Amino acid sequence: MELLGTPGKPILSGHEKFIFRHGWLKKGVDAIRLDPYLFGKDQALVELGVGKNMVRSIRHWCLATGLLFEDSTTPKGAALCPTELAVKLLTDQGWDPFLEDTGTLWLLHWQLATNPTRGGVWHAIFGHFYEPEFSKRQMLTHVSRYLERSGIYAKESTVEQSVDVCLRAYVPAKRYGPGTIAEDTFDSPLAELDLIRAIPDDSVYWFNIGPKGTLNPAVCLCSALLRAGHHPAASSLER
């Protein structure tokens, strides 16, 4: 089982300024099960039905959510492989291949927030930021300082892109108003969790703190088992 939280410096690149959309994670997992090297081929554009930047973004999010991992021991060089979680969750006969259960979204959120490498900005925001209400400028300052403590001195524009992606993951696109770029109007599935609310025109954001009625206890158990290094039995996530 490939575990998240492996020591390593946060990675800010790879998302191509896109947050993952409905269907992206399953599409990536299904494609890699057929061809572990697909993301390095021009054929990926056809197989996945998206542009080159989105191909790279799908790869990033499948890695960041712990659904794929890189295997550098293969004879042909680094290959991508689905984790056991990906197979149990997103295959056609899996627990929730189309992310219809909110519990699955909580699990994916947890995977990102506890991944200090490919989910570094998530880890900084949800694991180390304690202001209930904040502006984007405050968030940028916090994330930049977190990265500097990790030995990364990135351009402000680079940090801002990653922070924007994270905020867009949880704030519905309709709240961004008529000036929003068309590509940014597609909500991430994570917006259903209602974890961050906003008045973007005033650059005011706040964490929606309080009871989470959609957070199934089975998801908490699954998260604890994953953190301990044990894959949960299927029965622990029965819907």
**Helical H segments across 100-208, by residue range:** 102-113, 120-128, 136-149, 156-170
Q: According to the model, what pLDDT value does residue 238 have?
A: 41
Extract the residue ranges of the chain whose pLDDT is less than 50. 1-6, 175-176, 178, 180-185, 231-239
Q: According to the model, what pLDDT value does residue 212 have?
A: 84
Domain residue ranges in the chain: 24-207
Distance between CA atoms of 212 and 179, rounded to whole angstroms?
32
pTM of the shown model: 0.85
Q: According to the model, what pLDDT value does residue 186 have?
A: 64
Cα separations (Å) of 14 from 57, 58, 82, 210?
6, 9, 18, 33
